[in-house]
Amino acid sequence: MTIYPTHHPTPKSQLLAWEQEYTHITWGGPRSTRTVRDHLLEGSRVLDAGCGNGRHLLPLSRRYCTVGIDISKTALVASGTYLEKSGQHSEHLVSSVTELPFDNDSFGGIVCYGVLQHLFAGERRAAVSEFKRVLSPGGFLFFEAFGVDDMRYGGTEVEPDTFLRKNGVIYHYFTKEEVSSLLRGFEIIKLENARSEKKFRGEIHSRHMIKVVARLF
């Protein structure tokens, strides 16, 4: 599998942090892409923006013409390996979501799950601006990120609701209002607080995700 490098402005510290993370992140199996299937026609061109090791990209590649990007080459190598073992194919590119190497109106859909939560405020705005540029009019954005009530909230705060962990990775936690503001220019089709509970060391803790389906005007 060939992975094509592209320019990205991501700080070197973040690149190194993610390369280190993906040396021990294990394949957790493919994730559900039902929400995408409910809104996007088969055969559409889809960008998995921050595809990691391919947990969403693999099932997406069975139905769509897919491109997966990530800042971690280690993650992309793992993704390509999993897809090949399953008899699937997707283009893979090393790229940041803040500076996408694609022409305007290149995609009918963008999947961005668990990615913008690892960016600073300016980077989040830049990423959404790029999503608007590369999406075709009427294209869909599928977005998920941590919410402020999540059990993992906290650390060394570097921006409002944004924390730097010991592993060098940034974690930002969203509110619904913040997401609505960030996605101005999109028609919000679904915006929900997804809450669940997890038992950890004998105690019950809350998990909180913000989930969005949006269409570009």
Q: What is the pLDDT of residue 9?
A: 42
- Tell me the pLDDT of the chain averaged across its residues: 93
Q: What is the pTM of this model?
A: 0.92
How far apart are the C-alpha atoms of 179 and 161, rounded to whole Å?
Answer: 13
Residue 5 lies in a domain: no
Supply angle C-alpha 123, 212, 199, rounded to 5. Answer: 95
Q: Sorting pLDDT into bands at 50, 70 and 90, what band is 2?
A: low
Q: Please tell me which residue, 43 or 11, carries the higher pLDDT value.
A: 43
> Domain limits at 43?
31-190+204-216
Q: pLDDT band at residue 11, thresholds of 50, 70 and 90? A: low
Q: What is the mean pLDDT of residues 95-114?
A: 97
Asked if the structure places residue 19 within a domain, the reply is: no
Assess if residue 14 is contained within a domain: no
Q: How many domains does the chain have?
A: 1
Q: Following DSSP, what letter does each residue of the chain receive, concatenated? A: ---EE------HHHHHHHHHHTTTPPP--PPP-HHHHHHS-TT-EEEEET-TTSTTHHHHHTTSEEEEEES-HHHHHHHHHHHHHTT---EEEE--TTS--S-TT-EEEEEEES-GGGS-HHHHHHHHHHHHHHEEEEEEEEEEEEBTTSTT--SEEEETTEEE-TTS-EEE-B-HHHHHHHTTTEEEEEEEEEEEEEEETTEEEEEEEEEEEEEE-
Average pLDDT over residues 172-183: 98
* Structural domain contains residue 199: no
Structure confidence at residue 159 (pLDDT): 95
Considering the domain boundaries, does residue 198 fall inside one?
A: no
pLDDT (average), residues 147-167: 94
Whether the predicted pLDDT of 98 surpasses 80: yes
Question: Does residue 131 have a pLDDT over 60?
Answer: yes
CA distance 16 to 2: 21
Answer whether residue 18 is part of any domain. no
- Whether 73 and 51 have beta carbons less than 8 Å apart is answered as no
- When pLDDT is averaged across residues 12-23 and rounded to a whole number, the result is 84
CA pair distance 209, 207, nearest whole angstrom = 7
Q: Tell me the two tokens of residue 209.
A: 């995700």
More confident residue, 61 or 17: 61
In a domain, 12, yes or no: no
Nearest in space to 119 (alpha carbons), one of 131, 127, 110 = 127
pLDDT band at 10 (very low <50, low <70, confident <90, very high): low
Q: Please report whether residue 166 resides in a domain.
A: yes
Q: What is the pLDDT at residue 118? A: 96
Q: What is the CATH number of the domain that holds 102?
A: 3.40.50.150
The pLDDT of residue 21 is above 50? yes
Reported as a pLDDT band with limits 50, 70 and 90, residue 146 is very high
Above pLDDT 90, what percent of the chain?
A: 81
